[in-house]
Amino acid sequence: MRIGTKAAFRTPWDNEQSQRCPGQREDGIVDVVWKAIMENDVIGHHWGSVQSGQPEGVMRNRNAVWWGWNSNIVHTDPTAAVLGTHRVPVLIVYGDLDTQANQTSPIELSVPKLYAAIQGNTNKLMFRIACTGHFMPWERQATVLHRMSEQWLRQPPPSQPPRVFGLTSGSFFLNEEGDIIPQ
């Protein structure tokens, strides 16, 4: 398990805020998200440094496991995206400012490389979303993520693959105006 302070939660999110994207996140949202995390952890909210007579709390989460589904496994194991005799449709959505899912240290992570490594699957989609980072569910572009998720998870007719914005495969950039640009 990893233990994180509120400052350790805020810092990477602060680092992903871009001057070219004013209003990327609402003022005060870090405090709102932290409060929700603390309300959902009956143990962790009692830990941490004391602020104004109360513990600030810590965020507890599992250690990252790098041996799972990654670009090396997908590339070397063609069955990684197969369920029974069917290819599993893949949707990958990430923010163009995401420095956590796209990094070189301590290990290399690359969303586009993971997407490229998925071989033989004609039902794979990737979207890079403008002006958002790793914390997209709590940023201004959250509604885009929710809309895409709803479209993907809605059951298509049995003979058709899942779709997002009518698309079933390809790599795209979604700009702030909602234009879909092939990558």
pTM, rounded to two decimals: 0.83
**Structure confidence at residue 116 as a pLDDT band (50, 70, 90):** confident
- pLDDT for res 113: 87
88 and 125 together in one domain: yes
Range of the domain at 50: 2-61
Same domain, 94 and 149: yes
CB 139 within 8 A of CB 25: yes
Whether pLDDT at 74 is above 70: no
Give, in degrees to the nearest 5, the angle at Cα 73 between 69 and 75: 125
Instruction: Tell me, yes or no, whether 91 and 178 share the same domain.
Output: yes
The Cα 114–Cα 50 span in angstroms is: 42
Mention every residue, 6+ apart, whose C-beta is less than 8 A from residue 40. Answer: none
Q: Is 75 in the same domain as 144?
A: yes
Span 15-52, pLDDT tens digits: 999 988 999 999 999 999 999 999 999 899 999 888 88
pLDDT tens per residue, range 57-68: 999 988 766 555
Domain-located, residue 78? yes
pLDDT for position 83: 46
- Same domain, yes or no, for 78 and 100? yes
Structurally, the chain folds into a number of domains equal to 2
Average per-residue pLDDT in the chain?
86
At residue 151, what are phi and psi to the nearest 5 degrees?
-65, -45
Percent of the chain at pLDDT exceeding 70: 87
β-strands 124-129, 90-95 pairing:
parallel
Question: By mean pLDDT, which of 37-41, 72-76, 153-157, 162-166 is the weakest?
Answer: 72-76
Beta bridge partners of 4: 59
Domain assignment present for residue 66? The answer is no
143 in a domain, yes or no? Answer: yes
Asked whether residue 114 carries a pLDDT value surpassing 80, the answer given is yes
Same domain for 91 and 148? yes
**What's the mean pLDDT in 98-121?**
82
Domain endpoint, select from 61, 83, 109: 61
Domain assignment present for 99: yes
